[in-house]
């Protein structure tokens, strides 16, 4: 039996709810990004190098990734990144990430338009 003095365990000081919220948020983010199939679990395993059991626990929400595994998920999953930013109270950073993605998409569209324009330029010259 533990004495009634000293530090308490996280489950006793109200932090268990934070952990459960984190686990549920990561689980939901992974399911939104990858779905709930066995292939989704395999993808998470490939991204992070974890065992099948560990990845299944993340998808089930019974455990959440820590340390380097969380970083790998952030690297590969926009949904996980958004969930972590939301949990940390930094949702405004999602807008910045979205702007970067929009800029990249616009760059690709402009390159495609330039390529089409160059391809049709010789045809326009022949018709004149």
Confidence label for 56 from pLDDT (cuts 50, 70 and 90): very high
Distance between CA atoms of residues 74 and 64, nearest Å: 13
For all residues of the chain together, what is the average pLDDT? 84
The alpha-helical segments, DSSP class H, found in the chain are: 16-34, 38-48, 52-60, 67-76, 78-87, 92-127
Confidence label for 59 from pLDDT (cuts 50, 70 and 90): very high
Which has more pLDDT, 3 or 13?
3
Give the pLDDT score at 110. Answer: 95
Distance between CA atoms of residues 110 and 104, nearest Å: 10
Burial of 63 (0-12, 13-18, 19+ CB in 10 A): middle
Distance between CA atoms of residues 117 and 123, nearest Å: 10
The pTM score is: 0.63
pLDDT in tens, 62-110: 999 999 999 999 999 989 998 998 888 877 666 666 677 788 899 999 9
Q: Which two tokens stand for residue 113?
A: 């338009």
């Amino acid at each position: 039996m533990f004495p009634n003095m000293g530090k308490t365990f996280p489950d006793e000081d109200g932090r268990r709810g934070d952990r459960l919220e984190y686990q549920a948020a990561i689980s939901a983010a992974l399911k939104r990004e990858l779905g709930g199939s066995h292939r989704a679990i395999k993808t998470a395993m490939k991204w992070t190098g974890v065992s099948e059991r560990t990845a299944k626990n993340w998808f089930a929400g019974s455990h959440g990734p820590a340390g380097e595994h969380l970083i790998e998920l952030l690297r590969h999953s926009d949904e996980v990144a958004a969930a972590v930013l939301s949990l940390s109270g930094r949702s405004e950073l999602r807008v910045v990430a979205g702007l970067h993605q929009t800029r990249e998409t616009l760059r690709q569209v402009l390159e495609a338009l330039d390529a089409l324009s160059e391809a049709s330029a010789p045809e326009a010259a022949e018709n004149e």
